[in-house]
Amino acid sequence: MTVADLLCPVGKRRLMYEIALIIGGSIFIVLSAQIAVPLPFSPVPITGQTLAVLLVGMLFGSWRGTITLLTYLSEGMIGLPVFAGGSGGIVHLLGPTGGYLFGFIAAAFVTGSLSERRWDRKPQMVFFAMLIGNAIMYIFGLSWLSHFVGYKRVFALGLYPFISGDILKICVAITLLPTIWKILSKFGISK
């Protein structure tokens, strides 16, 4: 899209459409982050964020999903209470869960890219796309978390307690995806 496109009425409408989708997606992630269950033995809570991040990637595509996640992290960075448990601020991004938060950006980009390659059409392909997205989040998250808990404890505190829940979230996403597509298509929203 060129600057001239943005200045014409159609371009302005398109820009407003994109901004509304990105803000709506970031609000969806904020709301999912408030579904948080702290684990007494780990600095990483169980949240609904991973489900929301993967859905945003699959529904919005690579570039819009990435911008949505950058918007979400920017909201948190300036101190808005958007992270798990209503927390916010740059300190949170630099804390034990910061790696997972930054991994959300890469996960949304990759799942969005896979969705653009039609991996969002069959349940088994959605499963694998979201599994890859989860793996990306874990690569970022565990790498960063290991600085806080050490390499010997990182899997016990940042991976193993979450695997079954993540598989359940992927199954929920697979179930929700066709319905969400129908709702979005009624509003003319596409990747």
pTM given for the model: 0.90
What burial class does residue 103 get, using C-beta atoms within 10 Å of its C-beta: 0-12 exposed, 13-18 middle, 19+ buried?
buried
Number of domains comprising the chain: 1
Residue 92 lies in a domain: yes
Which domain range does residue 157 map to?
Answer: 10-34+44-186
Residue 53 lies in a domain: yes
Say how far apart CA 98 and CA 90 lie, in whole Å.
Answer: 9
Residue 39 lies in a domain: no
Say how far apart CA 125 and CA 118 lie, in whole Å.
Answer: 9
What is the chain's pLDDT, residue by residue, as a tens digit (191 residues)? 455 554 555 577 888 888 999 999 999 999 999 999 999 999 999 999 999 999 999 999 999 999 999 999 999 999 999 999 899 999 999 999 999 999 999 999 999 999 999 998 899 999 999 999 999 999 999 999 999 999 999 999 999 999 999 999 999 999 999 888 888 788 777 76
Residue 48 lies in a domain: yes
Residue 191 lies in a domain: no
Residue 59 belongs to a domain with what CATH number? 1.10.1760.20
Residue 2 lies in a domain: no
Say how far apart CA 107 and CA 57 lie, in whole Å.
Answer: 7
